[in-house]
Amino acid sequence: MPATKSQKERRKRRWERSIAQIFVDRICPHGCELRDLSPPEPDFSIFEDVGLEVTEIHVHEGQALAGNGSRLRQAQAQRDQFLRDAEDHFLTTYGRALAIDIIGLNDIRKYNTPIDFSNLVAGAIDRCGPFGWGPHRYVLETGLSLMVREKMVPSDCWKDISGRVGWVVMDGTQYVQSAIDEKAEKLSGYLSGNLKSCCLLVVANHMRSYGMISRPDITKLDLKGFSEVYFFPYPDADKIVCASARRAG
C-alpha cells in the first residue's frame, strides 16, 4: 500500500533529523544542541541564535534539483517500495524477515508483482541453501543478482551499495549552487524570529544512484546570505566540507 502524504512527510522529517544529528556530532559536538523548529524558521537550530536548514540534492539528466523532482529518485523509490512489499510477503509466507537489495540498476517491473518476486527469491534460497549473519549473494533463474540478509537489529547498519553506485557526477558545484539558490528565497523567513544566522546543510545520498554527486568547488559557491554552506556526501561524515561567508570575507 503506497505511503500517504503525512507518512512521507514524517519519514522525510526523521531522515532530516538523523542527518542533522550526524552533522552536529561530527562538526560541532561541544556546545551544540539540535532543536526542532517550525516554518517559517529553518528545520533546526544548533545554537540559540543559529539555524540549520537541511536539503537533499539529486541527479536529474545533468541538472541539479533540490526536493522531489528527480525522475531517478522516483524510480528508486518505486523500486524500493517493490522490494519492501516483497519482503513483507516473504515474511508472511515463509516466516523469515529478510532485507533484499538488487545488484545493478535493473528494471524489476518485469517480475509483475512483489509476490512473484518473493517466490523467486525463495526458490533461489532453496537451491543455494540457507545463510547466516551478513549479506549473502543469490542469483535468480532470470540472471538477476541479489544481496539478501536476515533483517535483525544488529545488522541494520550493514548496507551493500554495489547496486547503488553506477556513474558519479564528478563536480557537484552546480548541484549545490542550485540548492543554495532555492533555499535563499526562504532565508528572510528563516531569520524572522530569534535567529541571527543560518547554515545550510546540502546532502548527497551516496547510498542511492540519484545521489551520486561528488564534492563541489567551495570557492565558486555564492552563499546568498547563508553564514555557512556544508556539503555532506552521506554516509561519509568525515568528508563534509564547508563554505563560509566569514572565511570568504
Helix or strand (DSSP H, E) at 202: strand 197-203
- 8 A C-beta contact, residue 111 and residue 117: yes
Nearest to 143, CA basis, from 124, 165, 119, 130: 124
Beta-carbon count within 10 A of 219 CB: 9
Three cell numbers written together for 96: 523469515
**Residue 1 confidence (pLDDT):** 54
Nearest to 164, CA basis, from 234, 108, 105, 204: 105
* pLDDT, one tens digit for every residue, the chain (249 residues): 556 778 888 888 999 999 999 999 988 867 789 999 999 999 999 999 999 999 999 876 444 444 444 566 666 677 777 788 888 888 888 777 777 777 655 566 666 677 777 887 887 777 766 655 556 777 777 777 777 877 643 333 333 344 344 445 667 898 999 999 999 999 999 999 999 999 999 999 887 777 878 899 999 999 999 999 999 998 888 899 999 987 554
Write down how long the chain is: 249
Largest Cα–Cα distance of the chain, in whole Å? 65
DSSP secondary structure string, 90-118? HHHHHS--EEEEESSS---GGG-SHHHHH
pTM for the full predicted model: 0.62
**Residue 157 confidence (pLDDT):** 33
Three cell numbers written together for 34: 539540535
CA distance 136 to 100: 10
The pair phi, psi for residue 201, each rounded to 5°, is: -105, 110
The pair phi, psi for residue 216, each rounded to 5°, is: -85, 165
**Residue 30 confidence (pLDDT):** 75
DSSP secondary structure string, 51-68? EEEEEEEEEETTEEEESS
**Residue 135 confidence (pLDDT):** 66
Beta-carbon count within 10 A of 121 CB: 22
